[in-house]
Structure 1
Amino acid sequence: MSRSVRVFGPAVLVAVALVSTVAALAYGGGAAPQLIQDPGAFSRWGLPIAKLFVNLGAAGMIGALVLVVWALAPKRREFDVALDVAAASAAVFTIASAVTGLLTFLVVTGVPLSLGDTFGAQLGQFLTAIPLGQSWLATTLMGAAVTVLCFAVRNHTAVLFVTVLAIASLVPMAQQGHAAGTAGHNAAITALGLHLIFAGVWLGGLLTIVLLRRELDAKRLPVVLARYSTVALICFIVVAVSGYASAALRIGTWDQLASQYGVLVIVKLLALLALGGFGALQRRYLIGRMSRAGVSGVREFWFLVVAELAFMGIASGVAAALARTATPVGEEPGSIAQSPAEILTGEPLPPWPELWRYFTEWNLDLLWIFACAFGIFFYLAGVRRLRRRGDSWPVYRTVLWVAGMLLLAYITNGGVNAYEQYLFSAHMAAHMVLTMAVPVLLVPGAPVTLAARSIRPRKDGSRGGREWILLAVHSKFAGIIANPLVAAVLFAGSLWVFYFTGLFRWTMDDHLGHEWMIVHFLITGYLFVQSLIGIDPVPYRLPYPFRLVLLLGTMAMHAFFGLAIMSSTGLLLADWYGAMGWGTDALIDQQTGGGIAWSIGEIPTVALAITVAVQWRRSDQKESTRHDRHADRTGDAELEAYNAHLAAIAEHDRRG
């Protein structure tokens, strides 16, 4: 079984996925003839099948690269074989994406397939001028780039950047999902993107382990499998939650579960639950058994793997069919927008922004819910591991870290996030909290120090969390951006660059731009605070007096920016905030935002100044204590020598 599974396992996956796709299309009507401009049976059935191979190719590509980055050792043959798997999967992904783009054009336009110049011109127009075509063209080009890089790159660090590019190739696909352009489209994009990425890592990682069968002996297999199992558990959680969120947006109410779309969602959910059970069996039983007894349990493991691949095939096939199945909640807006604000944002208006509404309204962003939840969980797990082995960790660091993560979760999901598209003042409040308040809480938590102390180091040449974190912290790039002067320029300068260039507009129009904005301001704020009061290691720190000077100078620039906004007489985004028509004066609201930018920095500035002063005093006390202890050990030898030197000079002067 263990020898034939390298062929039998992938064959089962593809066969079951194809059968599931065809059955789900037949049941859900995803390949039914169109009433207007029907493209023909070939295009109607071929499009979801091509999309299935896009998903399978993406899974093999991303899953193999994640294993290379996380679990495999560069000095072993397993590393190169896994990269070959990634390259082959990326090639499948690229070809399938190109075919999908062509079939999408045929289905959308109803133009018959031909080799004429007119057809080529129409296809070129679709791929270069229409957003749907542009997304498939971008996906194909990125897939081709990943294919070449997987063959060419063998450096462990460089593979990480190839992995990032491979994950980025799924972003255009995420922006095509159901509900694109309707209420809840931002949540739909985030949920679908997370679902695609983590499902791909889950499926592709297991498939890669199967294809690495010859390279993993009885001792090596449990090691690699244990590392994959940790990643698979995270993937299961993310896939389950994001799948539920996507289904809720598309189904609407519980009674719609009886619809064809709802039944297919239930089938996919049952397959997911079965996969979760298989994963639990692996973690609790088979991995430990194989680690203790060597070959014992290996045969049972491979049987379980084939069963997992079969259920993954069911889930993948149903998912491909769901993309072509009509949803109970239509993709077109159900009613005419009642205000310009709804036309601009595509979202229903939240209630009037009374102060208390900022603490009761929610606009959930799954990406940051997961980031904050996992950030708290892994931090507490690290603290627990330290204490179990008898090491100490200050309680205040844990409290501050958890508080910072909870504040970040509120800003990215709470009332401020619900109103920032409509009110410049709410947007500025989110910006100031992200770049100033959240880092002031997170930096004293010293996450890098905790990771270095709590994560077990790898001894086989592979890189886990500890190795990647320390490599990033000690890299030349980190040394540049962590420099106090560079961090201060990024912190203050990004304000002006962001609000007075096209970046601001991008974050309003594109959900990807909105997510970039959060990451950017969080990182620049973190780097600046780290340069002032950080505990984690950095290449260079300013002396304490210069830290205070840097803080005051940077915050003066920050305050000047706030005053400039307060005194402005023109709108920054007149065709956005000025066109909302929501019953608020956009200019007064913008000036209020400037006041927030000016005033909200005062409390973090005072907190930072006090912290720097306290650290300065403690540093002087430690230095004084160190000198006292040295004097006690040497009997004040340095002082005695200095006094003798002065006495010799005095005697020399007296004789002269």
Structure 2
Amino acid sequence: MPISKTPIPNATPTADPTVTDPGRDRSDPWSVTAVVLAAAAIALCVAAGLAAIAPPRVQVAGLPTAGEFTDLALPAVKAIVDFAAAVTVGWLLAAAWLAPAQRNGFLDVGGYRAIKAASLSATVWAVGSFALIPLILSDTLGRPVNQSLSADWVISGISALNSVRAALIAGIAALLIAILARAVLHPGWAAVLLVLALVALVPQADSGHSASSGDHDVAVDSMIYHLVGISLWVGGLVAFLGLARQRVAHLDVVARRYSSIALVAFIAVAASGFGNAWLRITYLSDLWTTPYGRLVLLKAGLLTVLGIIGYLHRRHTLPAVARGERRPLIRLAVVEVLIMAATIGVASALARTATPPPSGAAPSDLELALGFSLDGPPTPLSLALGWRFDWLLGTASVVAAVLYLIGVRRLRRNGVYWPPGRTAAWLVGCAMLLIATSSGLARYGIAEFSMHMIEHMVLGMVAPILLVLGGPVTLTLRALPAAGRDQVPGLREGIVSAMHSRFVRFVTHPIVVFVLFVVSFYLLYFTPLFEIMITSHVGHVLMSVHFLVVGYLYYWVIIGVDPAPRQLSPFVKLAMLLGALPFHAFFGLALMNSHTAMAADYYTGLGLPWVTDLVAEQRLGGAIAWGATEIPIIIVMIALLSQWARSDEKEARRSDRKGDRGADEELDAYNRMLAQLAERDTPGRS
């Protein structure tokens, strides 16, 4: 990672060609710092004020309470943390994508200032997250906050409460971002920190209302969409406002990029907020008869106003930016940021307000643990028809298939041939991902170890093989337009730069990929990590993503259609494939001969009547892991042989063309020699 003390090459401020007056507009008193501080104050006051009006729970006589300080400070600090997290995400987004980089790959002035601002806001995010821990403990234990600062209570809270763990994870991630951002000079590393910031938001979705009732898997998924969407939307707007105030180059490009992201984020926030409220509201009248429902209506009204402002941005201010007028954009954006801050304050109070009482029978222990019920043991019919759509990975599989087909259609319109076999491989791979995450296999995979192992094999071996054979990167690079010599580098250039980055070269190194693919089995299943991950919906999602990503990297290096940063010989690829076999065989045999059940407390708590012996279930999973490697190996061997045959044919054709060119050159030289001899023997010539 480059050191920040190194000067940025050619990073001198450049005049924005879309701005008519390059000087600072002194008639506009609003600076970005003032807007951020005002927005933070609004979020804090709204959260604390609404918390004072809407009590978090029904007070029971005789039970201890945390006190008024905790009741008001907790939502206020939570609002500051949420706003600081969103601003951090926004500044990282600006450095990674919104502000165009220089031609040499380094951050421009706007991106450099954005990454420094991200470091500052991440510091606030980290401090606020650590401050939340004693407040959450005080609220949960019903004791003053000064009694919740002991190390014993903090350690107990980390092990027992999802909300405390979420605050701790967010604080550590924010602290890392605050430190590392000081040394970033390249958009690629800014993108890595952006991913880290978004991942740090995910554990927060598995706490509060989302994790405390039935259908909590859907609630957690929708909350992840909500948190990520609101962070990109709010934080991106703050960063966009900052770039506009700094008069960065190519402000019209920045505006178009943020406008596209904001539209998708608004749709995600609105849809996920509606879905989450739908799960919490029992009757329609709860919207105006309960404090929770009234806060939902207030938040919906604010989102509607923000949607109208977004429409005005796209209709009026963006064309004005293209004409070189930025003042209407700044004024409307300031109002929008302040309203967004009030919305965050409402959301912080809403997360602490008691939900309306449910109707009908209370959910069973199995529904509280899984989010849904299981009617009986797995059968071929229940596995095939018992679908429960995964709103994260299931949606990702559908979107990936649609985008791939759009890319193929664009190539055909341009007259570029794309092999149908690659399209078929990609679509079947997306189908495998959808089946593994949304069919009956996924429902039983979180409750039974043997079904979980089948899901693991599909996500880690079958789906990645088919996806890498689809060649998505090659398709994307051919479908996207290339930026001209004097144009701003676009998405295509960003992908090319990422493919040649040091990070990608490192993670695709044969040794690194081999270690990740093999060692992750043992680290996950033979350590307490498996029990930690399987007991929460977020942990289950992270396991699925890990299987898919590691499997994709491994098979990309071996049989990937997309060119890898490192070119490996066929013998190295074959060695990587065959070298993993003993480790997988030993892993399966170790499970088949195990005598202690993993995550026994979790599986026992589910109380499935048809699972009476956890060790036998685990041994069955080991047998599945031991025997399921044959199908992927056959597919990979066929792909390798086919690629080698095609490479031999190409090499033969290349050699033939080279030989033909050589024979023609020899024949031409011979003819020239004969011509010279004839010329010399002709009478009248010397």
TM-score range, shorter chain: 0.7 to 0.9
Pair 1:424–1:617, CA change in 2 (3 A): same
**Structure 2 residue aligned with 1:46:** 73
Task: State which of 90, 101, 110 in structure 1 corresponds to 2:122.
Answer: 90
**Structure 2 residue aligned with 1:399:** 424
Pair 1:370–1:305, CA change in 2 (3 A): farther
Residues 432-468 of structure 1, C-alpha deviations (whole Å, 9 max, x = no match)? 1112210122011112222333345567998764455
**Structure 1 residue aligned with 2:243:** 212
**Structure 2 residue aligned with 1:438:** 463
- Asked if 1:604 corresponds to 2:635, the answer is no
Q: 2-side partners of 1:639 and 1:522: how far apart?
A: 57
Residues 561-596 of structure 1, C-alpha deviations (whole Å, 9 max, x = no match)? 445645666645555557745223545444443443
Q: Determine if contact 1:33/1:44 at 8 Å carries over to the other structure.
A: no
Q: 2-side partners of 1:256 and 1:413: how far apart?
A: 32
**Structure 2 residue aligned with 1:180:** 211
Task: State which of 168, 180, 201 in structure 2 corresponds to 1:170.
Answer: 201
**Structure 2 residue aligned with 1:648:** none
Q: 1-side partners of 2:273 and 2:140: how far apart?
A: 26
Q: 1-side partners of 2:610 and 2:557: how far apart?
A: 43
Pair 1:264–1:576, CA change in 2 (3 A): closer
**Structure 1 residue aligned with 2:475:** 450
1:536 deviates by 0.9
**Structure 1 residue aligned with 2:663:** 635
What amino acid is the match of 2:197? A
Greater CA deviation, 344-353 or 42-51? Answer: 344-353
Pair 1:37–1:467, CA change in 2 (3 A): farther
Secondary structure at 1:422's aligned position in 2? coil
Q: 2-side partners of 1:532 and 1:359: how far apart?
A: 32
What amino acid is the match of 2:394? I
Q: 2-side partners of 1:98 and 1:234: how far apart?
A: 31
Q: Determine if contact 2:129/2:167 at 8 Å carries over to the other structure.
A: yes
Secondary structure at 1:536's aligned position in 2? coil
- Asked if 1:528 corresponds to 2:558, the answer is no
- Asked if 1:355 corresponds to 2:380, the answer is yes
**Structure 1 residue aligned with 2:675:** none
Q: 1-side partners of 2:505 and 2:81: how far apart?
A: 39
Task: State which of 251, 254, 258 in structure 2 corresponds to 1:224.
Answer: 254
**Structure 1 residue aligned with 2:298:** 267
**Structure 1 residue aligned with 2:310:** 279
Task: State which of 53, 56, 70 in structure 1 corresponds to 2:97.
Answer: 70
Q: 2-side partners of 1:240 and 1:548: how far apart?
A: 49
**Structure 2 residue aligned with 1:644:** none
Task: State which of 631, 648, 654 in structure 2 corresponds to 1:620.
Answer: 648
Q: Determine if contact 1:179/1:330 at 8 Å carries over to the other structure.
A: no
Residues 274-306 of structure 1, C-alpha deviations (whole Å, 9 max, x = no match)? 433443443465434532x333xx344334324
Pair 1:156–1:549, CA change in 2 (3 A): closer
Secondary structure at 2:377's aligned position in 1? coil
1:621 deviates by 1.9
What amino acid is the match of 2:257? R
1:633 deviates by 3.0
Q: 1-side partners of 2:519 and 2:140: how far apart?
A: 45
What amino acid is the match of 1:611? A
Q: Determine if contact 1:359/1:415 at 8 Å carries over to the other structure.
A: yes
Pair 1:169–1:520, CA change in 2 (3 A): closer
Q: 2-side partners of 1:600 and 1:31: how far apart?
A: 50
Q: Determine if contact 1:177/1:189 at 8 Å carries over to the other structure.
A: no
Pair 1:489–1:164, CA change in 2 (3 A): closer
Pair 1:385–1:52, CA change in 2 (3 A): same
TM-score for the superposition, normalised by structure 2: 0.79
Q: Determine if contact 2:226/2:273 at 8 Å carries over to the other structure.
A: yes
Q: 2-side partners of 1:404 and 1:569: how far apart?
A: 36
Residues 337-378 of structure 1, C-alpha deviations (whole Å, 9 max, x = no match)? 3xxx67876764454322111122234443313433443344
Pair 1:472–1:503, CA change in 2 (3 A): farther
Unaligned runs of 5+ in 1: 114-118, 642-656
**Structure 1 residue aligned with 2:4:** none
Q: Determine if contact 2:51/2:71 at 8 Å carries over to the other structure.
A: no
1:427 deviates by 0.6
Task: State which of 353, 371, 379 in structure 2 corresponds to 1:325.
Answer: 353
Q: 1-side partners of 2:666 and 2:274: how far apart?
A: 71
Residues 121-149 of structure 1, C-alpha deviations (whole Å, 9 max, x = no match)? 75444333313555545544544444444
State the identity as a percent.
Answer: 36
TM-score for the superposition, normalised by structure 1: 0.82
Q: 2-side partners of 1:146 and 1:480: how far apart?
A: 21
Unaligned runs of 5+ in 2: 1-24, 670-686
Task: State which of 444, 460, 474 in structure 2 corresponds to 1:419.
Answer: 444
**Structure 2 residue aligned with 1:503:** 529
Q: Determine if contact 1:127/1:137 at 8 Å carries over to the other structure.
A: no
Q: Determine if contact 2:188/2:498 at 8 Å carries over to the other structure.
A: no
Q: Determine if contact 2:138/2:144 at 8 Å carries over to the other structure.
A: yes
**Structure 2 residue aligned with 1:294:** 324
Task: State which of 87, 101, 105 in structure 2 corresponds to 1:60.
Answer: 87
Q: Determine if contact 1:177/1:192 at 8 Å carries over to the other structure.
A: no
What amino acid is the match of 2:260? T
What amino acid is the match of 2:471? A
Pair 1:32–1:280, CA change in 2 (3 A): same
Residues 505-536 of structure 1, C-alpha deviations (whole Å, 9 max, x = no match)? 33323444323322222123223322332111
Q: 2-side partners of 1:91 and 1:527: how far apart?
A: 33
Q: Determine if contact 1:50/1:96 at 8 Å carries over to the other structure.
A: yes
Q: 1-side partners of 2:52 and 2:144: how far apart?
A: 23
Q: 1-side partners of 2:35 and 2:503: how far apart?
A: 43
Residues 3-36 of structure 1, C-alpha deviations (whole Å, 9 max, x = no match)? 3443675577456545654664466444997754
1:69 deviates by 1.3
Greater CA deviation, 203-212 or 565-574? Answer: 565-574
1:196 deviates by 2.0
- Asked if 1:583 corresponds to 2:610, the answer is yes
Pair 1:144–1:406, CA change in 2 (3 A): same
Q: 2-side partners of 1:28 and 1:508: how far apart?
A: 35
Q: 2-side partners of 1:576 and 1:91: how far apart?
A: 37
Greater CA deviation, 226-235 or 544-553? Answer: 544-553
- Asked if 1:482 corresponds to 2:512, the answer is no
Task: State which of 268, 281, 297 in structure 2 corresponds to 1:251.
Answer: 281
Pair 1:559–1:70, CA change in 2 (3 A): same
Q: Root-mean-square deviation (CA), in Å? A: 3.9
- Asked if 1:312 corresponds to 2:340, the answer is yes
What amino acid is the match of 2:336? E
Q: 1-side partners of 2:126 and 2:209: how far apart?
A: 23
What amino acid is the match of 1:301? L
What amino acid is the match of 1:63? G
1:429 deviates by 0.9
